Amino acid sequence: MPKCTIDGREVEFQPGQNLIEVAKKVGVEIPYFCYHPGLSIVAQCRMCTVEIEKNPKLQTACSTPASDGMIVHTQSEKAKKNQRSVMEFLLVNHPLDCPICDKAGECDLQDNSYKFGDAYMRTSEDRRTYMDLDMGPVIKKNMNRCIHCTRCIRFGAEVAGIREMVAIQRGNNTEITTIDGRPLETEYAGNYSDICPTGSLTLKDFRFKKRAWFLKKTPTICEGCSRGCNMEIQHEGGQIYRSIPRENMEINQWWMCDEGRFNYRYTMEKDRIVEPRVVEAGASKRADWATAVAQARASVRGKKALVLIGSDLTQEEAQLIQQFAKQSLSGADVRHFGTPGIKSAGEDAAADKLLKRKSRTSNLHGVEKLGIGAFEGNTGAAEAVVVFRGGRAVLPEIKAGIWTVGIGVYHDSDSKKPGVILPGAAFSEKDGTVVNFQGKEQKLRRSVLPAGKSKLISEILALWTHQGVANKAGSKASVQAVTEGAV
Amino acid sequence: MSNLNFEQKQSAQSESGSIGGEPGGETLFIQHFKNDEARFLKYYHEKMAGYTALKKAFGMTPAAIVDEMKKSNLRGRGGAGFPTGIKWGFINDKTPFPRYLVCNADESEPGTFKDRDIMRYTPHLLIEGMVIGGYAISANVGYIYIRGEYTREAVLLDEAIEEAYAKGYLGKNIMGTGFDFDLTVHRGAGAYICGEETGLLNSLEGKRGEPRVKPPFPAQAGAFGKPTIVNNVETLANVPFIINRGGEWFSKLGRLERSGGTRLISVSGHVNKPGVYEIPAGSMTIRQIIYDLCGGMLNNGRLKAVIPGGSSAPVLTADEIDVIYDIDPLMKVNTMLGSAALMVVSEDQCVVKLIHRITKFYAHESCGQCTPCREGCHWMESIIERILHGKGREQDLALLADISDNIGGKTLCALGDAAAGPVASFVKKFKPDFEAYIRGGKHA
């Protein structure tokens, strides 16, 4: 493999790799703004300039492929002077409103200014100002903070496949905006905010909600479709504030769709049922766990049962339910449901050119692996139906009267459909494994505790099967007994 | 080349006040300027051996044409002075098709107006040069990207192109050789940056006029992502002469080793006879041009400054004008020939106001892509404006020098250098003028 030297450190590289990537290998940070590994290279922020021996001019590291024997200095006087000067230029017109800016704490401009800029400013001229722009439901623009890196323009054109962000005017008056100020149309608009190196494109959903440094970050998997984009749920005090994509080159690269990004909202909605419910005299009433579980158990006793599970449940949950059906429901049939029209992994396909899949649940491919077949819409000879649902699977139509128990995430609008509802944990509230469309097993991690009085499915099944300990809801012994038995 | 009327040339020169007797030498263009008949094919055939070079070129191999260009020592007339033969040589057997030949007729450098006269008076020279160029690099499509303000020239070019099509010098199977060449005039919208070759190509493609990252250079990926050669109008208009009379002859027209041919220069400012002149490359000093060629300073004023190569060239003071007016000698005194636009400034002018206007121009014309130019040019303009308004500070001059140093050579294209060079040189060479504003709050 060819080798070059960066700041005195020898490093091997793949032909074609640029100096920023090569430098990262030996822990040398070359600062940049406009460069993004997933976008074309424009070399226009000029922050990444480095000195290359035998080259009279500074070169931009983003646009310079490493070559054998190249000797690069990122911290020479010349390179450092340019880093200071580019930082100074960028701040000549930047409002420096970090104290009220949502990006503060995770801002490339702020970080690079601390690391590579001067603490002292020489400008006394008036700063350039623009009007804010509401860019539709996802993004709000504050142009004053913009440093014209054009990542957003390139993301739209090259990744999202839509030329909606443009530069208008020119020179010092250049403004990054949408064509005619229209709202953004792409279903991937949230990424504009992620890739913005300043607080110019902010997520409306997150604006003024939380300082970035207070957020706890849990790496997990999106449950929005069968792709299983890697993401991070950011939360604090049991409340989720946002989710952002994590890099995974084999699955979602750096991106995620808006549907997946804002999917977590349902877990915090007011109409989510977070207390056991029973239907009495045509009305849905709150009940304690012991009563509700006892009623659930009674409603299927002696009947031929059918178990339906959402393909949004984890592998562990699905296996546990299979075991439960076998042992506690006299070998009841288990079927899966999820996305209307997509009954098997074979029917799952790309839903757009970027990430979205047709299966709108996370684990269709996993439950199929467990040998669970699709629910065809016909309950057959079943006298009682027990439905398990993670949160996204679309509930099938079930004849009135035979749907006796619903376990998992339900909303007020579903409250009278099953006789008993036992509230379960949503995807952000549990650990587990899901299998994406490529057959990759990925791990969901718990970010927050189950909402209200909801419980994990393993806990609910423990209550169901261990009558004797039913009143000591969720005791460790009972959970363990069921999970060990199942796995 | 017997058709070139050399007797007539001498009289034409003295009429247009072009070349003085002393440096002498043959001229190629100027004798046909200001003659409204010259733009027609009839005149071009009769007086300028029209399209004989093309016929001769078709008898040569493309490689032989490129060799002839290399021998001619023709250096690009747009501003960078890159040897044309070497540029054409970038296109070789392995270069993929299609290839394009683009003529840069944007002529946007302030002070430059020589290409305008070529397009007005001798458009067929350009057309013939382009067909030969197209043949040499095996391109079948050519574009003339002309600046938007040149309305009249665009019309004249279109007329000349129509004439050439009618006579079969353009189009399919030119002169029965099987070589096709189509030529289109594309009008720009008046942006300075579209004179930068990659900015021009973006504009030609219908995109924002923004320079591209180089590499890839246009010869690798130019117009529409295909190999493209971009040449200035005057460069291409010289091609028929070189083919007809040989590269060696052309090279000897120039007086310096690495600069062949004659040079059209645009002189403006406070001289008695401003205008377009043609001199053998490297044959005169700036002093000779001002005092011999252009009839001296206007109203016998005293010379204060000379901007030698369009507004982007660093300024020279009155003491520095005994320098040969060509690429290499000017580079030695830290300025440049650029597009050979000589701007003469007399003593009664305020240089602070002048540099303010120049900087304002560059701030306005910066495309806004890269940081140092977008932010820096406007910053420099603001500072100079503040100085002009009597609000200058002592440290401003050092700040201006440092900003221009931070812009120069650090940007994507040459516009940054174009803006930085003048500011640095004005601040250095006319410091007392700035200090007068800063200390006295007004013009000295």
pLDDT for residue B126 is more than 90:
yes
CB contact under 8 A, A43 and B213: yes
pLDDT confidence of residue B441? 62
The answer to whether A4 contacts chain B (CB < 8 Å) is no
Query: In B138-232, where does DSSP find H-type helix?
Result: 151-166, 197-204
d(CA A228, CA A438): 10
Q: Kindly compute the dihedral angle of the four CA atoms of residues B304, B306, B310, B313, in this order, to the nearest 10 degrees.
A: -100
DSSP strand pairing (A230-236 vs A216-221): antiparallel
- Per domain, the residue ranges of chain B are 33-253, 262-346, 351-438
Q: Is B190 on the interface with A (CB under 8 A)?
A: no
Question: Does the beta carbon of A122 lie under 8 angstroms from any beta carbon of chain B?
Answer: yes
Nearest residue to B26 (alpha-carbon basis) of B215, B208, B261: B261
B401 close to A (CB below 8 A):
no
Q: Do B375 and A92 touch (CB under 8 A)?
A: yes
Smallest CA-to-CA distance from B364 within B188, B108, B147, B151 is with: B108
What mean pLDDT is reported for chain B?
91
Q: Band of the pLDDT at B24, cuts 50, 70, 90? A: low
Distance between CA atoms of residues B370 and A411, nearest Å: 52
Predicted pLDDT of residue B299: 93
Nearest CA in chain A to B404: A85
Q: Which pair of structure tokens corresponds to residue B142?
A: 């050519």
Is pLDDT above 50 for B70? Answer: yes
> Chain B partners of A41 at a C-beta cutoff of 8 Å?
213
ipTM confidence:
0.90
Of the candidates B420, B385, B399, B371, the one whose C-alpha atom is nearest the C-alpha of residue A93 is: B371
List the pLDDT tens digit at each of the 487 positions of chain A. Answer: 899 999 999 999 999 999 999 999 999 999 999 999 999 999 999 999 999 999 999 999 999 999 999 999 999 999 999 999 999 999 999 999 999 999 999 999 999 999 999 988 899 999 999 999 999 999 999 999 999 999 999 999 999 999 999 999 999 999 999 999 999 999 999 999 999 999 999 999 999 999 999 999 999 999 999 999 999 999 999 999 999 999 999 999 999 999 999 999 999 999 999 999 999 888 999 999 999 999 999 999 889 999 999 999 999 999 999 999 999 898 999 999 999 999 999 999 999 999 999 999 999 999 999 999 999 888 888 999 999 999 999 999 888 788 889 999 999 998 888 999 999 999 999 999 999 999 999 999 999 999 999 999 999 999 998 864 444 444 454 444 444 444 3
What is the model's pLDDT at position A152? Answer: 96
> Minimal Cα distance from A147: which residue of B?
B371
How large is the average pLDDT for residues B262-280? 95
Which candidate in B389, B407, B410 is best for mutational testing of the A interface (most A CBs within 10 A)?
Answer: B410
Q: What is the pLDDT of residues B281-317, one digit of tens each?
A: 999 999 999 999 999 999 999 999 999 999 999 999 9
CA distance A419 to A153: 53
Closest partner residue to A90 (CB to CB) among B193, B375, B409 is B375
Sheet arrangement for strand B275-280: B275-280, B262-269, B341-346, B303-307, B316-317
Closest Cα in chain B to A50? B410
pLDDT band at B442; cut points 50, 70, 90: low
Q: Say yes or no for a CB contact (<8 Å) between B368 and A172.
A: yes
Give the pTM.
0.90
Q: In CATH terms, are B262-346 and B351-438 the same topology? A: no
* Of A46, A93, A169, Cβ closest to residue B410: A46
> d(Cα B354, Cα B130) in Å, to the nearest integer?
38
- Could you name the CATH architecture of B351-438? Up-down Bundle (1.20)
> At the topology level of CATH, where does B262-346 sit?
Ubiquitin-like (UB roll) (3.10.20)
**How buried is B148 (Cβ within 10 angstroms: 0-12 exposed, 13-18 middle, 19+ buried)?**
middle
Q: Which overall architecture, per CATH, does domain B33-253 show?
A: 3-Layer(aba) Sandwich (3.40)
Q: Which residue of B lies nearest to A42 if distances are taken between CA atoms?
A: B213
Q: Which of residues 246-265 of A touch B (CB under 8 A)?
A: none
DSSP assignments along B33-75, one per residue: TT-TTTTSHHHHHHHH-TTHHHHHHHTS-HHHHHHHHHHHT-B
Of B11, B197, B227, B219, the closest CA to residue B104 belongs to: B197
H or E segment to which residue A423 belongs: strand A420-423
Q: Which of B213, B371, B377 sits opposite A86 (nearest CB)?
A: B371
Residue among A45, A48, A89 with most chain B CBs within 10 A, to mutate? A89
From the list A58, A126, A148, which residue is nearest B374 (CB)?
A: A148
Residue pLDDT, tens place only, B198-239: 999 999 999 999 999 988 999 999 999 999 999 999 999 999
Tell me the domains of chain A and their CATH numbers.
3-75 (3.10.20.740), 95-210 (3.30.70.20), 277-484 (3.40.50)
Quote the strand ranges of B166-257, DSSP E: 171-174, 179-187, 228-232
Residues A466, A476 contacting (CB under 8 angstroms): no
B83 touches chain A (CB under 8 A): no
**A47 touches B at CB < 8 Å:** yes
> Helix B415-429 to helix B371-388 angle, to the nearest 10 degrees?
30
- Assess contact for B250 and B240: CB atoms under 8 A: no
* CA atoms of B281 and B236, how far apart (whole Å): 16
Chains A, B: CB contacts under 8 A, how many?
A: 89
Quick check: A46 and B379 CB within 8 A? no
Give the β-pairing of B275-280 and B262-269: antiparallel
Is the CB of A122 less than 8 angstroms away from the CB of B399?
yes
Chain B residues near residue A150 by CB distance under 8 angstroms: 369
Query: Residues 212 to 231 of A: which have CB under 8 A from any B CB?
Result: none
Query: Where does residue B34 fall: left (phi above 0), alpha (psi -120 to 50 degrees), or beta otherwise?
Result: left
Residue B199, both tokens = 């900015």
pLDDT(B131) > 50: yes
Q: Which residue of A has its CA nearest to B376?
A: A89
What does the DSSP 8-state code read for residue B340?
Answer: T
CA distance A17 to A37: 11
Check whether B6 has a pLDDT greater than 60.
no
Pairwise CA distance, residues A461 & A487, whole Å: 14
Confidence of residue B410 (pLDDT cuts 50, 70, 90): very high
Q: Does A435 touch chain B (CB under 8 A)?
A: no
B442 burial level (CB within 10 Å; 0-12, 13-18, 19+): exposed
Tell me the longest C-alpha to C-alpha distance in chain A. Answer: 88
